[in-house]
Chain A
């Protein structure tokens, strides 16, 4: 609150507009998924189901193939593990971006 002349409101507006335009042009690869606690809880809700769905889909596929090919229960067992692996893969994909060096802290 001294007499020193701060940046004029128009300069400030110009700068903010430029920043917004810059952001508009950005591509997905440059800006990560958005930050904030909201997305942290979003992650938490995402990954639990991912594991279970892997087992269910893998087991279901194996069971259907078994019914079709008459190889019960070997494909069920095989696809159960493949489904588990796929579930793990999905979890890893979902959480990978959290560890990137430019990811928002904590």
Chain B
């Protein structure tokens, strides 16, 4: 993301943290498949999730310990979300929603570690996730209801002369979904991490005399950012559930 001029500043630009660095060059048939720092942090997130779940459930005790309790809580949380928003018909999509939620959550939280890289601060990552949700939900809708799925775009009880206008609006409102889903997560992560870096820069600039005020602010902001990390993962998963509900139960 950073321009060439920022390199001279020695990484002090607040946007330098979002820079993609190529670690291992891989070129598969003209497609650039290099391993970047983004790839590495995605793999770390997946490894952390796997460790979290496997170690948490290793004992499988009736009275759960701390780790097992956390693993069970995350399961219960997503299962409850799916039940509240989609109902029993959504149970079969639990693995996907759970994976999505845990991946976004761990990417957000790992991004909070100093010197780490926030995968979800790149719109291409969040848009890819949102596109998978959007295309998947549309396919599920057509597979379950066939052409009836198009009824989603036809509001009921509308005078016939308004129908063409409203169908176009409904269609746009459906196409907005992947954009708003991805932009929300990306923008929150980008803004939050940039703000942390900017206030961190103030601490250095004001030195030992005046630096305490921004330092206190950075501490507060870090707490807020951890909350945002949880909330954005929650919002991403809950919206996926809502879209799934539209496709399965055919009502907004």
Whether A46 lies near B231 (C-beta < 8 A) is no
Which residue of B has the minimal Cβ distance to A41? B231
Give the residues in chain B near A87, CB-CB below 8 Å. 173, 176
Q: Can you give 24 contacting A-B residue pairs, CB < 8 Å?
A: A24-B88, A25-B88, A26-B83, A26-B87, A28-B84, A28-B86, A28-B90, A29-B249, A34-B84, A42-B238, A45-B232, A45-B235, A46-B235, A46-B239, A53-B176, A53-B179, A58-B172, A61-B172, A61-B175, A82-B168, A82-B169, A85-B169, A85-B172, A90-B176
Bound complex: CA A20 to CA B86 (Å): 17
Scoring B170, B172, B175, B242 by chain A CB atoms within 10 A of each residue's CB, the highest score goes to B172
Contact present for B172 and A82 (CB under 8 Å)? yes
B residues sitting closer than 8 Å to A (CB atoms) are 80-81, 83-88, 90, 168-170, 172-173, 175-176, 179-180, 183-184, 187-188, 231-232, 234-235, 238-239, 242, 245, 249, 252
Query: CB-CB contacts of A11-39 with B at 8 A, as 1s and 0s?
Result: 00000000000011111110111100011
Given contacts A46-B184, A90-B180, 19 further A-B contacts (CB under 8 A): A26-B87, A28-B83, A28-B86, A28-B87, A31-B83, A34-B84, A41-B231, A45-B184, A45-B231, A45-B232, A49-B183, A49-B184, A52-B180, A52-B183, A54-B176, A57-B179, A79-B172, A83-B172, A89-B170
Closest 8 CB pairs of A and B: A53-B180, A28-B87, A86-B173, A86-B172, A27-B87, A49-B184, A53-B179, A57-B176
Is chain B's interface secondary structure helix, strand, loop, or mixed overall?
helix
Query: How many residue pairs bridge A and B at CB < 8 Å?
Result: 89
Contact of A27 with B88 at beta-carbon distance under 8 Å, contacts A38-B231, A45-B188, A82-B168 already known = yes
A28 touching B249 in the complex, CB below 8 Å, given contacts A34-B80, A86-B173: yes
Q: Is A66 among interface residues, defined by CB-CB distance under 8 A?
A: no
Return chain B residues, CB-CB under 8 Å to A89: 169-170, 173
**In the complex, what residue of chain B is closest to A50 when comparing beta carbons?**
B180
Contacts of B85 in A (CB 8 A): 28, 33
User: Contact size class for A?
Assistant: 35 or more
**Given A57-B172, A89-B169, also A42-B235 (CB < 8 A):** yes
Is A98 located at the chain interface by the 8 A CB criterion? no
